[in-house]
Amino acid sequence: MTATLLAATGSLAPATRGFLSPTGVEIVFVLVGLAVLGAALISVTTKQLVHAALWLVVALGGLAIEFLLLTAEFVAWVQVLIYLGSVVVLVLFGLMLTRAPIGRSPDADSGNRWIALGVALASAGTLVTLVVDAFRTSWIDLGAGGGSTAAVGASLFRYWVLPFEALSVLLLAALVGAIVISRTGKGGARPRPGRLRTRRPAGSAAPQQQER
Amino acid sequence: MLLRCLAALVVLLTFPLIIGQTEHKVMAHMQGRLGPMYAGGFHGWAQLVADGVKFAQKEDIVPAGADRRVFQLAPAVALLPYLLVLLVIPVGPNGFVGQAVDAGIFFVLAVMGIGVLGSLMAGWASANKFSLLGGLRTAAQLMSYELPMLLAGASVAMAAGTVSLTGIMAGFHWWWIPWQAIGGFVFFTAGLAELQRPPFDMPVADSEIIFGAYTEYTGLRFALFLLSEFAGILVLCALTAVLFLGGWHGPLPHSLGWLWTLLKTFALAFVVIWARVTFPRLREDQLMRFAWTGLIPLALLQLALTGIIKVAISQ
């Protein structure tokens, strides 16, 4: 897909690598980047919680497209699978379970707004400075297949196995923690008093026939 | 490229309708239903047309308390992933595929995961408690069943040594079918649950939470949800046929390969409909237990089996 996408939008290795000689890919990249930025801004400024999460979907999906444009195909699909398919869905799930009125959320206004803006600007500034400083003169030729699944998989499991495994341990710890927190007592899932649902032993038939 | 996209769109618009028509007829025969047998004369062939006209006639209502834009967008979000997935499923040899994607399985499973957003949006934006409940059940169910599906897919990728769907087809041997049988069962069942088809239709349970996330939808938007369900059946069956049943490999010469893929796909679609007609609905807790204590251990077993045999072969 990437190859055709690139073929459709323009060559990857510009003849003159000037600062202001954008190729088709670069223009698309910048446009998608602007869309991502816009979606991210709306996501943090909107007063409706669920809308914020949905704009996050747009922003993260745009990021996946950016990865595609950088020929990092595998990373793009990982982005879609993990962030769009799981993280945002989990966020939405949590929001809808707890507090998600239709319309404006009364507690969406935070007093820490300006501090948050300062922190965001500072971290963005640091990152931009760092990246610009690190890659000022270097230029990577984005050949097709450079970020393909085979290449990423090979480098991941050949050179980066240790960080990969360490990350798995981190995730395992999070999983165990979640299980520990969600266990209320020795009996496992006990029905709490005041719940509407009557307890029915799982696996056996209902004690009384309902609505038949 | 454009032509292939167009072809995939045409397939997306026609094949689910064929599956829908089949569902009408199979259900009518299996349950002795007379209704779908009248429209149009012979065997009720026009039932689907009548359904379409009915949907198009209905007024398009957005509830007063609903979140308008999200409510209206939801059907599109539910349908789009299946269109994208259909684009990459290989139908026959020699590049008979909408668009070959390097990370085929991965792409398919990743994009199919987005479909849940549509149900969540629909459920929440309807401003209806039953809808919200249905949407949340959908999300919980889809998250639980994503894992066995991914694990079963990973097993096939391991067997083939590639995640590309065409690559997997190229590496296929007939003995993969018994070898990957457990994974195939897990994949198909988990996929059925992802589609919220009976017996896993707890999120839409029409007798308890009155169609869950889709309660407030009428007319064409509801038809879009139905279309996405049938497109989901098509995608799931085609994927199962490609990954676990050998896709275009069959006794006939290779030039007829696409026919095998279609035959296997529609045979599986028949099984999906059959399951709907004959199985009772699972309860919510049974549904979750089935995923976590049934399918995931089975998928892990299949993964281990694949690994062991793979190592044994390579030595």
Residue B299 buriedness (CB in 10 A; 0-12 / 13-18 / 19+): buried
The most confident of A1-5, A137-141, B197-201, by mean pLDDT? B197-201
Phi, psi angles (nearest 5°) of residue B206: -70, -20
Could you tell me which residues come within 8 angstroms of residue A93 by beta carbon, excluding any fewer than 6 positions away?
A: B120, B136, B139, B140, B143
Q: How far apart are CA B291 and CA A171, in angstroms?
A: 21
Question: Smallest CA–CA separation between B68 and chain A, in Å?
Answer: 10
> Whole-angstrom Cα distance, residue A150 to residue B103?
9
Judged against a pLDDT cut of 50, whether residue B160 lies above it is answered with: yes
B136 contacts A96? CB cut-off 8 A:
yes
Instruction: Find out whether B286 and B200 touch, Cβ atoms under 8 Å.
Output: no
Whether the CB-CB separation of B288 and B143 falls below 8 Å is answered with: no
* CB-CB under 8 Å, B114 with A97: no
CB B87 within 8 A of CB B182: no
> Angle of helix B115-125 relative to helix B219-244, nearest 10 degrees?
160
Q: How far is CA B170 from CA A7, B93, B165, B166, in A?
A: 26, 9, 9, 6
- Which of A78, A92, A152 would best serve as a mutation to test chain B binding (most B beta carbons within 10 A)? A92
Left (φ > 0), alpha (ψ -120 to 50) or beta: where does B250 sit?
A: beta
Chain B residue at shortest CA distance from A93: B136
Average pLDDT in chain B: 82
Give me the pLDDT at residue A62, please. 92
Average pLDDT over residues A184-197: 53
**What letters, b where the CB count within 10 A reaches 16 and e where it falls short, cover B216-237?**
bbeebbbbbbbbbbbbbbbbbb
Distance, CA of B152 to CA of B146 (rounded, Å): 10
Q: CA of B185, closest CA in chain A: separation in Å?
A: 23
Taking alpha carbons only, the member of B72, B75, B58, B63 closest to residue B219 is B58
Cα separations in angstroms, B214 against A131, B67, B117, B139, B197: 47, 14, 13, 14, 14
The distance of A138 to chain B (nearest Cα, Å) reads 28
| pLDDT of residue A122 exceeding 90 | yes
Instruction: Report the interhelical angle of B257-278 vs B219-244 (nearest 10°).
Output: 120
pTM above 0.80, yes or no: no
Contact B118, A86 (CB under 8 A): no
Q: pLDDT tens digits for B168-218? A: 887 787 788 888 888 889 999 998 888 888 788 877 777 777 777 788 888
Q: Do A96 and B140 touch (CB under 8 A)?
A: no
Cα radius of gyration (chain B):
20
**Residues present in chain B in total:** 315
- For every residue of B56-99, which 3-state class applies, written as one string? HHCCCCCCCCCCHHHHHHHHHHHHHHHHHHHCCCCCECCCECCC
- Kindly determine whether residue B103 and residue A81, on different chains, have CB atoms separated by under 8 Å: no
Residues of B in contact with A2 (CB under 8 A): 102
- Chain B positions contacting chain A at CB under 8 Å are 1, 65-67, 70, 99, 101-103, 106-107, 109-111, 113-114, 116-117, 120-121, 123-125, 127, 132, 135-136, 139-140, 142-143, 146, 162-164, 285-286, 289
Contact B70 A85 (CB under 8 A): no
Kindly report the average pLDDT of chain A as a whole number.
74
Helix, strand or coil, per DSSP, at residue B34: coil
Is there a contact between A10 and A76 (Cβ–Cβ < 8 Å)? Answer: no
| Chain B residue whose CA is closest to A88 | B117
List beta partners, residue A185: A188
pLDDT bracket for residue A35 (50, 70, 90): very high
Q: Which of B106, B139, B285 sits opposite A202 (nearest CB)?
A: B285
- Residue A129's pLDDT band (cuts 50, 70, 90): very high
C-alpha angle A123-A127-A129 in degrees, rounded to nearest 5:
115
Q: Which residue of B has its CA nearest to A92?
A: B120
Please state, in angstroms and rounded to a whole number, the distance separating the CA atoms of residues B89 and B68. 34
Name residue, tokens 């507690």.
Answer: A107
Q: What is the pLDDT of residue A104?
A: 72
Q: What share of chain B is helix, strand, coil (3-state, %, to 5)?
A: 75, 0, 25
Q: Which residues of A touch B210 (CB under 8 A)?
A: none
Cα–Cα distance for residue pair B18/B266, rounded to 1 Å? 10
- By the 10 Å C-beta count (0-12 exposed, 13-18 middle, 19+ buried), A9 is classed as middle
Residue B172's pLDDT is 80
- Confidence at A3, pLDDT banded by 50, 70, 90: very low
Helix (H, G, I), strand (E, B) or coil at A185: strand
Nearest to A89 among B117, B285, B286 (CB): B117
